[in-house]
Amino acid sequence: MPQAAVPLAIGATVIGSANQARAARRAASAQENAADQAAQVQREALQQYRLASEPFRFAGQQGINPLLQSLGIQQIGLPNQPIFNMLTGAPTESQDRRAEIEARLKELRAQRGL
């Protein structure tokens, strides 16, 4: 290989590497934008699902205890009721009932053999 060709090959390599790096940055940016758009579409779909299913969730909460009672199954607490809040870790509305709730939890655990 002639000596004049060596700097030319080095120059071509440097230019090619710079072009590849630029293309890789553009591709990464395009991927990031696509992922952000996909996440936004998923958030919107979840929000639409929640809005559409809210009446059914509410009806289920209102109807579960009468259904369980008619089947002879122990009733459960609903959201914003102390036993439900204690079981799920949600804040209780009244700390005065703490002893009552803890006693009820002990009963439930004893029934389940825990």
Closest C-alpha among 72, 76, 52 to residue 64: 76
Both tokens of residue 110? 């004893």
Domain that holds residue 89: 77-114
Identify the residue with better confidence: 1 or 30. 30
Count of other CB atoms within 10 angstroms of residue 111: 9
pLDDT (mean) for 34-60: 87
Length of the chain: 114
69 and 87 housed in the same domain: no
* Contact predicate 93/80, CB 8 Å: yes
Half-sphere exposure of 93 (CA within 13 A, CB side): 7
CA distance 66 to 78: 12
Type of residue numbered 7: P
pLDDT (mean) for 15-31: 89
Closest C-alpha among 66, 63, 74 to residue 104: 74
Q: Report the range of poorest mean pLDDT among 3-7, 71-75, 90-94.
A: 90-94
Instruction: State pLDDT tens for residues 54-84.
Output: 888 777 777 777 887 788 876 665 555 555 5
pLDDT (mean) for 22-26: 92
68 and 103 housed in the same domain: no
10 and 45 housed in the same domain: yes
pLDDT (mean) for 3-29: 80
Q: Judge if pTM exceeds 0.75.
A: no
CA distance 23 to 1: 31
63 and 83 housed in the same domain: no
Domain count, the chain: 2
Percentage with pLDDT > 70 across the chain: 68
User: What is the predicted pLDDT for the residue at 84?
Assistant: 57
58 and 86 housed in the same domain: no
User: What is the predicted pLDDT for the residue at 76?
Assistant: 63
55 and 84 housed in the same domain: no
15 and 53 housed in the same domain: yes
